[in-house]
């Protein structure tokens, strides 16, 4: 790996979107390090998926940080007492994790500063998303502005960019883009309640969006369902 490559941190959940974001970052010539979070999520299988994908896609480093969001609560994804809904809901659903992207980006910002990486890739999406406020372009723009006032590197002149290559794409477009970049979607886990083997429920919001994406893209859905 050449040392004159620009460095990037890629937030890698192990789902379809984040893996596509990683493939895009690599295709743009970035030397990528990937970051996953063990935040007490139900769907632990995504952590295994992220680990495998990071290895197969030959990233520079892959880090899994433990953050106790379950201790804070307030989400179906981290609280066993709140069920993941199997039918679409109006407004922001219970799978919303309070301030999740803000917490994730902040840890990425810390690591970016240590690695001297000036780009953070996050696979957020404002089209086929679940109504989460922290996936919107105006949020990302405000985060980037804040980040550029937050760190020693920024103060010393190294501007930081939050890269959101998927933000204006439909799920079908993301899949098509990923396939052009040879992403192996069979390795990804999107389901909010995947079982230990990574098999999807096929019914939660995330499964529905993913399944429809494959249909709309005209691509065979090879996801393993329970």
Nearest-approach distance from CB 30 to a second copy, in angstroms: 19
Nearer to a second copy, 19 or 117 (CB): 117
Burial label for 81, CB within 10 Å (0-12, 13-18, 19+), is exposed
Please name the residues in contact with 202: beta carbons below 8 A apart, sequence gap of 6 or more.
191, 211, 223, 225, 226
Nearest-approach distance from CB 65 to a second copy, in angstroms: 5
Nearer to a second copy, 1 or 149 (CB): 149
Nearer to a second copy, 29 or 133 (CB): 133
Contact residues toward a second copy (CB under 8 A) are 63, 65-69, 71-74, 92, 96-103, 105-107, 109-111, 113-114, 133-134, 136, 138-139, 142-143, 145-147, 149-152, 154-156
Nearer to a second copy, 151 or 187 (CB): 151
CA-angle at 61, arms to 75 and 148, nearest 5°: 65
Residue carrying structure tokens 């680990």: 51
Distance CA 91, CA 102 (A): 20
């Amino acid at each position: 790996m050449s040392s004159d490559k620009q460095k990037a941190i890629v937030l890698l959940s192990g789902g379809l979107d984040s893996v596509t974001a990683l493939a895009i970052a690599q295709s743009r010539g970035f030397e990528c390090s990937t970051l996953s979070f063990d935040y007490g999520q139900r769907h632990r299988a995504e952590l295994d998926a992220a680990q495998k994908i990071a290895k197969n896609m030959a990233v520079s480093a892959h880090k899994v940080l433990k953050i106790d969001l379950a201790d804070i609560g307030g989400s179906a994804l981290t609280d066993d007492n709140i069920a993941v809904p199997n039918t679409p809901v109006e407004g922001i659903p219970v799978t919303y994790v309070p301030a999740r992207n803000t917490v994730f980006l902040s840890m990425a910002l810390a690591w970016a500063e240590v690695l001297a990486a000036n780009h953070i890739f996050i696979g957020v999406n404002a089209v086929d998303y679940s109504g989460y406020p922290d996936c919107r372009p105006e949020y990302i723009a405000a985060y980037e502005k804040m980040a550029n006032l937050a760190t020693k590197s920024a103060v010393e002149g190294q501007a930081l960019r939050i890269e959101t290559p998927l933000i204006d794409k439909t799920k079908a477009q993301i899949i098509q883009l990923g396939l052009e970049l040879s992403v192996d979607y069979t390795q990804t886990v999107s389901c909010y309640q995947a079982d230990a083997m990574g098999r999807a429920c096929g019914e939660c919001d995330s499964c529905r969006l993913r399944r429809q994406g494959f249909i709309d893209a005209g691509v065979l859905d090879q996801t393993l369902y329970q």
